[in-house]
Structure 1
Amino acid sequence: MHLIITEKNITAKKIAQILFGKGTKETKVEGVSVYSSGDTSIVGLSGHIVNIDFPEQYNNWSVTAPKDLIRAETEMRYTHKKIATALKKLSKDATSVTIATDYDREGELIGVEAYRIISGFKPDIKFDRAKFSAITKPEIDRAFSNRVPLDFNLAAAGEARQKIDLVWGAALTRYISLTCGRLGKSFLSVGRVQTPLLALLVDREKEIKAFVSTPYWEIYATLGNGTDFTAKHECNRFEDKKKADSVRAKLGSTGTVVEYKKDARSDAAPIPFSTTEFIRAASSIGFSAANAMRIAENLYVNGWISYPRTDNTVYPSSLNLRDVLQNFAAGEFGEYARKLLAMKTLVPTRGKKETTDHPPIYPVSSAKKSDMADDEWRVYELVVRRFFATLAPAATWETRNTTVDISGEKFKASGSKLTEAGWRYYYPYGMPKEEVLPALEVGETLKVKKIEMPEKMTQPPTRYGQGRLVKMMEDLGLGTKSTRHEAIQKLYARNYVHGNPPQPTNTAIAVVDALERYADLITKPDMTSKLEQDMDLIADGKIKEDAVVDESQNMLETIFGVLDKNHDEIREVLFDGLREDKILGKCQTCGSDLMVRKSKKGGRFIGCTGYPNCTFSLPLPPSGTIVATNKVCERHGLSHIKITTGGKKPWELGCPQCNFEEWQKKKKEAAAAPGEATTGTATAPKKSAPKKVMAKTGGSDENTAEPKKPAARKAAPKKKVIEKAPEA
């Protein structure tokens, strides 16, 4: 029997349909689906079916010191025992095995994991590899007709990453969490890629907070002799209002055209989609990096687009571009495909990166909008249109620029108009707005119809969007095409960032601040970039896996030397920062800080640090991570909060006091309504459910809608406990 192993069940089913057609027979082995025809069977894994981890004796944080994890032994554990057992049973009758997992580091490692399980059970079995970049009949037929040996070097590079990331993440996370007392679900995560990425966001946030906005003035003149246009003073902005007033005061009622130029500007077509370029484009139309890649993976598995994890920005010569276009000649994109097919020659654009593992991302088959969900269609359409654009000619813009003299002061204006759509006919995303500027002549006199001098304020730098972050990570050598979007998503899951573009929480700022001050090696990309380069060398067979793992352990020991030296200082910075993270504002009763606190029963509430003299408190929902935002309630001076739960959409709760007061009002209205009881817990209107939940579950008495003062007094934590070990 010939056994074919794919990465997932859905891939196995799809490939079986391509290879076997209607003759496919599905059976179950150990509950795992197997697709067969004649003497060939196909089985899908579930990604990694084994995982690397520390032996159980290292799991006790109070027994094993973080530094001891650096050189600790690791072991492989089954994560899907039924699949492993199914592989062994299937291999009994197999004479050859073809690994058909995704062709990249992770896919090759997954395939090698299956190889180890089967060869350990049946050593004499023969293995080979099918490499493909799209799940289509031509590509699958080609891949299985040209099978190659397994690439153990590529798998070793993936395994090195597993080992290095496990040790770095476990040792550093355990150290930081123990240092500030954040244990259990409240642990503080630190990672080889994650932390330098977080530092980029925190450093940017510090720039934003440190920015001091200052006023400036601009002067605009509306001019025309028929078609009006607006010109701006050549000074661009005036920081001195007196100077701006002086210029404005001297301006007369007419201006003279002293310069006018009309030209044509070529607008080059975009390059093919690498993973990074794809994520940047998807981000610009509203998709997070993780969501864009999730959808792209699904489109790939279902045979709509090519493999979405690639650094390549150059179409290989083996890719028949006209054949791809022909797929779309009669579909929903037929108008565009036929226009390109009518061109005598197709000259695609080229990016700077050219690799041989996979082509750039391109559409491999034509779909209807009804074939997929709305979000999938938007991503699919983006890929289709990008492919078309890379084959199209440049666009051409007519540009017009003029300088007008008004009483000795120069005003400038420009305009642009798309004269030849070129690639923009196929790819409308990010289309610049056309600016109208009438035809003028040098020496022409224009009427000054209006002068405006708006006051503006300088703006802080903007936060990094996810698309820009992925590009920065690529430039800095942080992560790979396959892991960068996952690193960003992990920051959300760890509640280190919220919102889009991602904004770091106070906890994230505290962690990065402590590490940048006393162990900045962890927050810099240098070490991580060096290890990424070494893993590339493993894949190329130029260096051994063990050498790179040993190098990473040496790096980590150097880092721990710095951490141990500055342990007390790191602890102090973390405590101060984490305590500040819980302060939501000032108590309007006594002026003390209002903080997120925990009761003895495990509930949480907002309590006053002026306790026991002040017993003011507000309820909070029982679960989810509380994130204080930059928005402050004008009435109560409290930070608006949101409740996050990993990667799910956050609950924007707003001002906790406004929220509570609104619920109280609803409760009284419901209690006063005819036929309603006047005691007990009222049922809030459906749209106010989140408000009711918050109020009902807050405070220290979880069965009472409004927190009772005596209960709040009993539940208030001692001040020294909060200072010693802030809870998550």
Structure 2
Amino acid sequence: MGKNLVIVESPAKAKTIENYLGSDYVVLSSVGHIRDLATTGPGGLGVDVEDHFKPNYKNVTGKSKVIKELKQAAKNSDAVYLATDPDREGEAISWHLADVLGLDVDLERRVVFNEITKDAILEAFKHPRAIDMDLVRSQESRRILDRIIGFKLSKLLQSKIKSKSAGRVQSVALKLIVEREKEIQKFVSEEYWSVHAMFERESAKIEAELVKKANKKISIANEDEVKAILAELSDPYVVEKVEKKNKSKQPKLPFITSTLQQEAASKLGYNAKKTMTIAQKLYEGVNIGSETVGLITYMRTDSTRLADNFVDATKSFIKQNYGANYVKTGSTNAKKVKNAQEAHEAIRPSSVARTPEEMKPYLKRDELRLYKLIWERAVASLMKSATVEATTIEVRSNDYLFRVNGQVLVFDGYLRVYSYEETKNASLPRLSEGDTLALVDVEPQQHFTQPPARYSEAKLIKEMEELGIGRPSTYAQTMETLKNRGYVTLEDKKFKPTDQGILTSEKLAEFFSEFINVEYTAEMENNLDEISKGQKVWYDELKVFYDHFMPMLEDAQKNMEKIAPVEIGEECPECGSPLVIRRGRYGEFVACSGYPTCKYIKKETKEEAAPVSTGVKCPKCEKGEIVEKKTRRGKVFYGCNQYPSCDYALWHKPVDKKCPKCDSLLVVKGKKNEIQCPNKECDYKEE
């Protein structure tokens, strides 16, 4: 009898799960997707538009060894279980695996779990199901849609304005950044003033701000108006109102993907990519001495729901450690989020008993900081609100009213746990209505209105989430794409569009305004959600899009002005044509305007040392060799010496050996100069 085979997409996850399932199971990894759309057919789309957008898939480059291993393992197994991630992308990977391995997609062999703990895994294997083809079609539709828009628009922009790419979500995010920059450029600052007074009674002092004149909100435009106000202020200054109220400060909901990225940015200084990389590690499994266990639930989610067993365990934990009066009462389920996948949970610790303090010996500094943030947020969400006593004092002089607000924390509630929020005590002296105060000082302050702030990563993600653009799995990648394409730069950790980014956005707005906009992108996300629920036919939605999109593309191909390369005033030494500035993968370079007839490229004028060879043959073109190079900023990387005809490149020094798992070229990496696989989805490392 053969063993049961379980296939997951992550090598790290495979190790953790195999420990839980025991000797009757073998757990292998597909190392991510094994297939993607081909680049053959009309337009290189890998899609037969005429036959209901039928996709043509090919195996991912470098995955032949993995596929062969999986086929052999499946052949020798009694049963094959597909345990990829619990989202549309994971469902699609399971379907591709079933198709390639010749498995029956209707068999109930799809296993889904939101956390990688022994109990959760064993329970999930008691309830396998068939592959959900509606989820697969939704993912497939998104991939085809993005391929059509990405290929068609990218090719257009490359030929017309030398921009590197465009995308359904990426280009709308860029549009938001560019529109904000234009708001900033158009902004005209206006002067305004505020007046602050210091009052005293029996050695007690309060500072209040002028807020009203004749019971109407006051607006002070200039210094002359300030002087007129000061001339009208006079004794007596009488306390007109003292109001005290208890106010509740509610705990925030547990994290979803977007809020985790936002809070990690503001509280820890992590960008979205770093946050998701660390969260992936915490989810897939950490060695905590006696076992390897996933410390958090699945980190790509838009649901704020918490499992009942976690709620019960956490309430007991709160009662035991902080007291029964800290336990939240009533409904604890979070708000309904539009289009959230309700089978998912919020991002939470897999066990409330694994406190950050207890996990400290097993986690790296950055991992511990993110885990602490997730643990505290989830626990705090099940605690009672904090209570503050808020005091408002109003002081009148003639027609003018001054106001000061203060507050005192009377019950810390969830703040007892959530250390990332503070409620400052600002106590006020005891005063009664009718008390007369002495004016100690009055200070006018000049201000100027400020333009809207540029988007930080966190603010842009929040905006995209609120507008319904993209999904949890896309936010981090969108941020990286905008930076890598040279469409934005970061100034003070905020996005500023480059000239190329502005040009790209303007041209897309000019010719594709009906597609590259917030409303259409959000509507398409809704359509994809409806496809995932079986409420819409996937190829019908693609046809509606395609029939509308293609005429616009044809118009742009005819009428979008082509920007000519900038001539440098020199002739090509080989053919006499003007030399021009071109843009390549690694920045600008000077080449012949007669390309592709003439392929002359001007070398840097400064003397450079001969490239240092690594002795490794290029795995892509199999003609050149990998040499050490430097970016324009001096950072070392390794690339093929046949560039630009071959653009293979690595950030780490390669060795003349391929990864036995995924066939990638191995590199020297890390502080200990270990030989590792550079593929982020593969964990191979030589001992």
In which range does the TM-score fall when normalised by the shorter chain? 0.7 to 0.9
Is 1:135 matched up with 2:82?
no
Q: Is the 8 A contact 1:217 1:454 kept in 2?
A: yes
Match for residue 422 of structure 1 among 413, 419, 438:
413
- How far residue 492 of structure 1 moved from its aligned partner, in angstroms, is 1.5
Alignment of 1:358-369 (within 5 A): 358-365=344-351, 366=354, 367-369=358-360
Distance change in 2, residues 1:345/1:495 (3 Å): closer
Alignment of 1:317-396 (within 5 A): 318-324=308-314, 338-339=321-322, 346-347=329-330, 348=332, 350-353=334-337, 355-365=341-351, 366=354, 367-396=358-387
Q: Which residue of 1 aligns with 2:458?
A: 467
Taking the aligned partners of 2:248 and 2:650, their CA distance within structure 1 comes to 43
Q: Which residue of 1 aligns with 2:172?
A: 196
Which secondary structure does the structure 2 equivalent of 1:454 belong to?
strand
Is 1:162 matched up with 2:143?
yes
- How far residue 4 of structure 1 moved from its aligned partner, in angstroms, is 0.6
- How far residue 624 of structure 1 moved from its aligned partner, in angstroms, is 4.7
Is 1:623 matched up with 2:617?
no
Distance change in 2, residues 1:13/1:622 (3 Å): closer
- How far residue 461 of structure 1 moved from its aligned partner, in angstroms, is 0.8
- How far residue 280 of structure 1 moved from its aligned partner, in angstroms, is 2.5
Taking the aligned partners of 2:323 and 2:305, their CA distance within structure 1 comes to 19
Q: Which residue of 1 aligns with 2:31?
A: 46
Q: Is the 8 A contact 1:313 1:350 kept in 2?
A: yes
2:536 alignment partner AA: I
Q: Which residue of 1 aligns with 2:530?
A: 537
- How far residue 325 of structure 1 moved from its aligned partner, in angstroms, is 6.0
Q: Which residue of 1 aligns with 2:14?
A: 12
- How far residue 86 of structure 1 moved from its aligned partner, in angstroms, is 0.6
Q: Is the 8 A contact 2:241 2:433 kept in 1?
A: yes
- How far residue 523 of structure 1 moved from its aligned partner, in angstroms, is 2.7
Match for residue 242 of structure 1 among 218, 224, 227:
224
Q: Is the 8 A contact 1:399 1:414 kept in 2?
A: yes
Alignment of 1:32-181 (within 5 A): 37-38=23-24, 40-55=25-40, 74-79=56-61, 80-119=63-102, 128-180=109-161
Is 1:264 matched up with 2:241?
no
Q: Which residue of 2 aligns with 1:549?
A: 542
Taking the aligned partners of 1:131 and 1:439, their CA distance within structure 2 comes to 60
CA offset digits 1:650-680 (Å, max 9, x no partner): xxxxxxxxxxxxxxxxxxxxxxxxxxxxxxx
Which secondary structure does the structure 1 equivalent of 2:192 belong to?
strand
Stretch deviating more after TM superposition (99-108 or 374-383) = 374-383
Taking the aligned partners of 1:346 and 1:130, their CA distance within structure 2 comes to 34
Q: Which residue of 1 aligns with 2:517?
A: 524
- How far residue 204 of structure 1 moved from its aligned partner, in angstroms, is 0.6
Taking the aligned partners of 2:108 and 2:602, their CA distance within structure 1 comes to 56
Gaps of 5+ in 1: 21-36, 330-334, 580-595, 607-620, 627-645, 649-728
Stretch deviating more after TM superposition (245-254 or 197-206) = 245-254
- How far residue 453 of structure 1 moved from its aligned partner, in angstroms, is 1.2
Q: Which residue of 1 aligns with 2:664?
A: none
1:352 alignment partner AA: K
Match for residue 506 of structure 2 among 495, 510, 513:
513
Taking the aligned partners of 1:493 and 1:44, their CA distance within structure 2 comes to 29
Distance change in 2, residues 1:384/1:509 (3 Å): same
Stretch deviating more after TM superposition (201-210 or 461-470) = 461-470
Distance change in 2, residues 1:625/1:544 (3 Å): farther
Question: Normalising to structure 1: TM-score of the pair?
Answer: 0.70
1:193 alignment partner AA: V
Taking the aligned partners of 2:551 and 2:77, their CA distance within structure 1 comes to 49
- How far residue 169 of structure 1 moved from its aligned partner, in angstroms, is 0.5
Which secondary structure does the structure 2 equivalent of 1:234 belong to?
strand
Alignment of 1:508-657 (within 5 A): 508-564=501-557, 566-568=559-561, 571=562, 602=602, 623-624=631-632
Distance change in 2, residues 1:87/1:477 (3 Å): same
Stretch deviating more after TM superposition (390-399 or 425-434) = 425-434
CA offset digits 1:500-550 (Å, max 9, x no partner): 222222211121122223432243123322322222222112233322332
Q: Which residue of 2 aligns with 1:674?
A: none
Match for residue 276 of structure 2 among 293, 296, 300:
293
Which secondary structure does the structure 2 equivalent of 1:368 belong to?
helix
The answer to which structure, 1 or 2, has the higher relative contact order (CA under 8 A, 6+ apart) is: 2
Q: Is the 8 A contact 2:112 2:124 kept in 1?
A: yes
Q: Which residue of 2 aligns with 1:229?
A: 206
- How far residue 149 of structure 1 moved from its aligned partner, in angstroms, is 1.4
Q: Which residue of 2 aligns with 1:660?
A: none
Which secondary structure does the structure 2 equivalent of 1:150 belong to?
coil
Taking the aligned partners of 1:558 and 1:341, their CA distance within structure 2 comes to 65
Distance change in 2, residues 1:425/1:351 (3 Å): same
Distance change in 2, residues 1:487/1:438 (3 Å): same
Stretch deviating more after TM superposition (128-137 or 417-426) = 417-426
Distance change in 2, residues 1:221/1:562 (3 Å): farther
2:403 alignment partner AA: K
Q: Is the 8 A contact 2:236 2:436 kept in 1?
A: yes
Q: Is the 8 A contact 2:107 2:129 kept in 1?
A: no
1:166 alignment partner AA: R
Taking the aligned partners of 2:176 and 2:105, their CA distance within structure 1 comes to 51
Q: Which residue of 1 aligns with 2:663?
A: none
Distance change in 2, residues 1:340/1:161 (3 Å): farther
Q: Which has the higher helix share?
A: 1
Q: Which residue of 1 aligns with 2:187?
A: 211
Which secondary structure does the structure 1 equivalent of 2:70 belong to?
helix
Q: Is the 8 A contact 2:108 2:129 kept in 1?
A: no
1:261 alignment partner AA: E
Taking the aligned partners of 1:557 and 1:125, their CA distance within structure 2 comes to 37
Taking the aligned partners of 1:544 and 1:449, their CA distance within structure 2 comes to 74
Question: Normalising to structure 2: TM-score of the pair?
Answer: 0.74
Taking the aligned partners of 1:555 and 1:647, their CA distance within structure 2 comes to 40
- How far residue 111 of structure 1 moved from its aligned partner, in angstroms, is 1.0
Q: Is the 8 A contact 1:97 1:127 kept in 2?
A: no
Distance change in 2, residues 1:217/1:356 (3 Å): closer
Which secondary structure does the structure 2 equivalent of 1:11 belong to?
helix
Taking the aligned partners of 1:238 and 1:115, their CA distance within structure 2 comes to 70
Q: Is the 8 A contact 2:257 2:300 kept in 1?
A: yes
Distance change in 2, residues 1:237/1:372 (3 Å): farther
Stretch deviating more after TM superposition (280-289 or 46-55) = 280-289
Is 1:476 matched up with 2:462?
no
1:623 alignment partner AA: T
Q: Which residue of 2 aligns with 1:486?
A: 477
- How far residue 158 of structure 1 moved from its aligned partner, in angstroms, is 1.1
Taking the aligned partners of 2:333 and 2:129, their CA distance within structure 1 comes to 31
- How far residue 252 of structure 1 moved from its aligned partner, in angstroms, is 3.7
2:348 alignment partner AA: Y
Taking the aligned partners of 1:466 and 1:146, their CA distance within structure 2 comes to 39
Which secondary structure does the structure 2 equivalent of 1:219 belong to?
strand
- How far residue 447 of structure 1 moved from its aligned partner, in angstroms, is 1.7
Q: Which residue of 2 aligns with 1:3?
A: 5
CA offset digits 1:141-194 (Å, max 9, x no partner): 1001111112122122112211111111011011011012x2xxxx42111111
1:321 alignment partner AA: V
- How far residue 53 of structure 1 moved from its aligned partner, in angstroms, is 2.9
Q: Is the 8 A contact 1:54 1:72 kept in 2?
A: no
Taking the aligned partners of 1:124 and 1:542, their CA distance within structure 2 comes to 21
Taking the aligned partners of 2:125 and 2:225, their CA distance within structure 1 comes to 76
Taking the aligned partners of 2:517 and 2:349, their CA distance within structure 1 comes to 38
